[in-house]
Chain A
Amino acid sequence: MSKEWPLWEVFIRGQHGLNHRHVGSLHAPDAEMAINNARDVYTRRNEGVSIWVVPSAAITASSPSDKGPLFEPANSKVYRHPTFYDIPEEVGHM
C-alpha cells in the first residue's frame, strides 16, 4: 500500500463571530491542501468564514482516566458562577 495522506482536524468559525469549532477531519497531503479540502468538504452549505486545520497527530489530548482529577474539582467552586450570589431586586440588572 502506498503512503496514506495524513489526517487533519478541521476547525471552522461561522458567520456569527464565535470561536472556531471542531467540525470533523479529512485527509490531505499537506496543510495548504487540507485548507482547500476543508473548504470543499465542510463549507458546502455556507457554514463558515474562517478555517483552521491541524495535523491530527499534533493534537495532545487529556487522558480519559484523568477526567475525575481534571474536571471534578471545578464542580465544588460554585462561587465562580453568577447565580451563586443573591442580589436584591432593587439593585437592578447586574
Chain B
Amino acid sequence: MYAQLVQTDGLKKPEEMSPEERAFQERIDRGEKIEPKEWMPEGYRKTLIRQIGQHAHSEIVGQLPEGNWITRAPTLERKAILLAKVQDEAGHGLYLYCAAETLGVSRDELMELLHRGKMKYSSIFNYPTLTWADMGAVGWLVDGAAIMNQVPLQRTSFGPYSRAMIRICKEESFHQRQGYAVMMKMCAGTPQQKAMAQDALNRLWYPSLMMFGPSDKDSVHSAQSMAWKIKMNTNDELRQKFVDQTVPQAEYLGLTIPDPELKWNEEKGGYDFSEPDWSEFFDVIAGNGPCNKDRLGARVKAWDDGAWFREGLVAHAEKAAARKAPLAAE
C-alpha cells in the first residue's frame, strides 16, 4: 500500500525467540499497544520506521498530483474543496512523521532519505494527472484503496501509529466522497465530460490495483509484519475487497472497468479480475514511472529552496531566547 515492499526479516518461530521477544509477541497477541519507550525487537523498530516513513512520504508526494490541478479547478467551490483535501494530505504526512519520530528518527532525517532516493513512496503518485476527471478518479480509486488499508491499521500494534491512523481516517472521510462526487458530476455531464471520466478510470485502474503491492501468498516478510500487527491484511485480501467494492460504484457511474476478464464469481463471492502488469510496477518502483523524476524533483526543490527560511526562523528564535535570558537571570 503506501508502504509497498517494506522488507522485514523472516518470521521467527517461538522457540527461536529470546525471552524478551516472546514476551513482546505475547503482548501483541493479547492486543496490547506497544509504546515508544518500551522494549521492542530491533526488527520491529526498523520495519516500523520504514513503513511509517514511506506512508508519510506517500502523503506529501501525494500532494503533488492533485496539487497539479488546484490552480485549474473549474469553480471556486471545487478549488476550495481540492485545496482543503491536498492540505489534509500535508497534515497526514505531518502526523505520520511525528509517529515515526517516536522511534528515534527525526523528520529531517527521513526527508533526507526520501530526497536521496533511499526511501520510497507509493508507486501510484508517479502517474500523471492529465485531466480534471483525474481529480475525481484519484479521490475515488486512490483514496478508496488507501482507506482499505488505513481503516484496519487503526488497530495496529504500535500506539503512535495507531493513533495517527485514527486521526487520519477521521479526516479522510471526505476525501473519497469528494472524488466520487466529481466523478458523478462528470458522468452526468456532457459526452466529453463522461469520456474524460472513462479515460481517467482507464488510466488509473491498474495503477490503483498495484497500490496493494504484489501478491504476498508466499512472502515471509509479510508474515512477520502480520505477526507484529503492523500489517493487518494480506495484499491480495485488500485488493479483492477493493475490486468488489469498486465495481458496483463504476456501474452506478455508467463507466466500464478496463478489464475484459472481470466477472462475478459466485463461488468465492467476489469478482475475478486481471492482474496488473507487475513489470510496470517494478519499473515504477525502480524510478522509471512517468513522473518519478518530477515528483522527487519537486520535493527536493521545495526543501532546498526553503532551507534559508527554516534557518532564518531558527536564528531568530535563538536571538529572541538570548535577549530574554539575561532578564531571566536577574
Say yes or no: A30-B98 contact (C-beta < 8 A), given A1-B112, A5-B313, A44-B91: no
Interface size counted on chain B using CB atoms at 8 A: 29
B13-66 with Cβ < 8 A to chain A = 35, 37-39
A42-93 with Cβ < 8 A to chain B = 44-45, 61, 63-64
Nearest chain B CB to A15 CB, angstrom units: 16
B55-88 with Cβ < 8 A to chain A = 87-88
Which residues from chain A contact B203 at a C-beta distance below 8 Å?
Answer: none
Q: CA–CA, A89 to B114, complex, Å?
A: 66
Please tell me if the beta carbons of A30 and B35 are within 8 angstroms of each other in the complex.
no
Nearest chain B CB to A31 CB, angstrom units: 9
Q: Does A20 sit within 8 A of B, measured CB to CB?
A: no
Please tell me if the beta carbons of B108 and A4 are within 8 angstroms of each other in the complex.
yes
Please tell me if the beta carbons of B307 and A63 are within 8 angstroms of each other in the complex.
no
Q: Does B293 sit within 8 A of A, measured CB to CB?
A: no
Q: CA–CA, A5 to B107, complex, Å?
A: 10
Please tell me if the beta carbons of A24 and B314 are within 8 angstroms of each other in the complex.
no
Please tell me if the beta carbons of A3 and B314 are within 8 angstroms of each other in the complex.
yes
Which residues from chain B contact A23 at a C-beta distance below 8 Å?
Answer: 167
B232-281 with Cβ < 8 A to chain A = none
Chain A residues touching B, majority SS: loop
Which residues from chain B contact A63 at a C-beta distance below 8 Å?
Answer: 37
In the complex, number of A-B residue pairs with CB atoms less than 8 Å apart: 50
Closest to A64 in B: B38
A1-56 with Cβ < 8 A to chain B = 1-5, 7, 23-27, 29-30, 33, 41, 44-45
Q: Which of B39, B108, B320, B321 has its CB near the most chain A CB atoms (within 10 A)? A: B108
Q: Does B171 sit within 8 A of A, measured CB to CB?
A: yes
Please tell me if the beta carbons of A24 and B313 are within 8 angstroms of each other in the complex.
no
Say yes or no: A29-B313 contact (C-beta < 8 A), given A1-B112, A4-B108: yes
Closest to B170 in A: A45
Which residues from chain A contact B305 at a C-beta distance below 8 Å?
Answer: none
Say yes or no: A2-B310 contact (C-beta < 8 A), given A29-B316, A30-B321: yes
Mark contacts of B99-125 with chain A using CB atoms, 8 A cut-off: 1 yes-contact digit, 0 otherwise. Answer: 001000011110010000000000000
Closest to B101 in A: A7
Say yes or no: A24-B310 contact (C-beta < 8 A), given A4-B108, A30-B317, A30-B321: no
Which residues from chain A contact B106 at a C-beta distance below 8 Å?
Answer: 4
Q: CA–CA, A64 to B307, complex, Å?
A: 38
Please tell me if the beta carbons of B108 and A30 are within 8 angstroms of each other in the complex.
no
Please tell me if the beta carbons of A29 and B314 are within 8 angstroms of each other in the complex.
yes
Mark contacts of B196-227 with chain A using CB atoms, 8 A cut-off: 1 yes-contact digit, 0 otherwise. Answer: 00000000000000000000000000000000
- Since A26-B98, A41-B94 are in contact, a sample of 4 more A-B pairs with Cβ atoms closer than 8 Å, ordered by chain A residue number, is A1-B112, A24-B95, A25-B98, A33-B313
A-B contact pairs, 6 of them (CB 8 A): A1-B112, A4-B108, A23-B167, A30-B317, A33-B317, A64-B37
Which residues in A have some Cβ–Cβ distance to B below 8 Å? 1-5, 7, 23-27, 29-30, 33, 41, 44-45, 61, 63-64
